Amino acid sequence: MATTHYIEHYCRITEGRISKNGTLVFESGETEFSDFIKSAYKTLRIDYSKFFKMDSLSKLALVAADLLLLDEPEKNMALVFSNRASSLDTDRKHQQSIQDSESYYPSPAVFVYTLPNICLGEISIKHRLFSENGFFIFNRFKAGNLFDYANSLLAMQKAEKVLCGWVDFDCEKYDAFLYVVAKNGTFTHSKERINQLYQTL
């Protein structure tokens, strides 16, 4: 018989709002993502020395993860993230810097973020996680894939908990939904529940 797992906490960041477990924790009218996330970073008193050097996707992922991991003692926590745009927003910035052969000055600081899973590394560094991680590219949010992968990691005892979800950034549009799957928690871990929580701000 398959073990039942639970969703311990969840958070959402989109359209100027940040919520944790369904409760609004930050709201801003800033129209530019950089202003919004900077304001959130300062208001939520997140502390990470590299924050302002990171690309938008990593900033989004780090703030979302911090909401769930700040008071989390478990370090054997796998990370399973997904999105639609991969690192396309940063890829474009890099492409622009190498477009003109007469002015060919690619930025190393931009280039290092031209992979979506770099954000997992930033989260792992900040929270000192040495655990399994994976980043999947889907055309839309797919609860089923995340559900299966998280269950598999827990069943194979690859991790005690799994931080899962969706972190997407492209052309100023941002959407993050992360949740922690554990042996105990508030909600039963199911595809239906994941989809339901994703719809909740």
Partner 1 sequence: MTDLKLELKEKIIEQLNLEDVSITEIGDNDPLFGEGLGLDSIDALELIVMLDKDYGIKLADPKEGKKIFESVETMATYITSKKAN
Write out the residues near partner 1 by the rule CB under 8 A.
38, 49, 51-53, 105-109, 112
Q: Report the C-alpha gap between 37 and 2 in whole angstroms.
A: 40
Q: Name the residue nearer to partner 1 (CB basis): 45 or 140.
A: 45
Q: How far is the CB of 94 from partner 1 (least distance, A)?
A: 13
Q: Name the residue nearer to partner 1 (CB basis): 106 or 134.
A: 106
Q: Name the residue nearer to partner 1 (CB basis): 96 or 107.
A: 107
Q: Report the C-alpha gap between 174 and 60 in whole angstroms.
A: 8
Q: How far is the CB of 111 from partner 1 (least distance, A)?
A: 9
Q: How far is the CB of 53 from partner 1 (least distance, A)?
A: 5
Q: Name the residue nearer to partner 1 (CB basis): 6 or 111.
A: 111
Q: Name the residue nearer to partner 1 (CB basis): 112 or 115.
A: 112
Q: How far is the CB of 112 from partner 1 (least distance, A)?
A: 6
Q: How far is the CB of 108 from partner 1 (least distance, A)?
A: 4
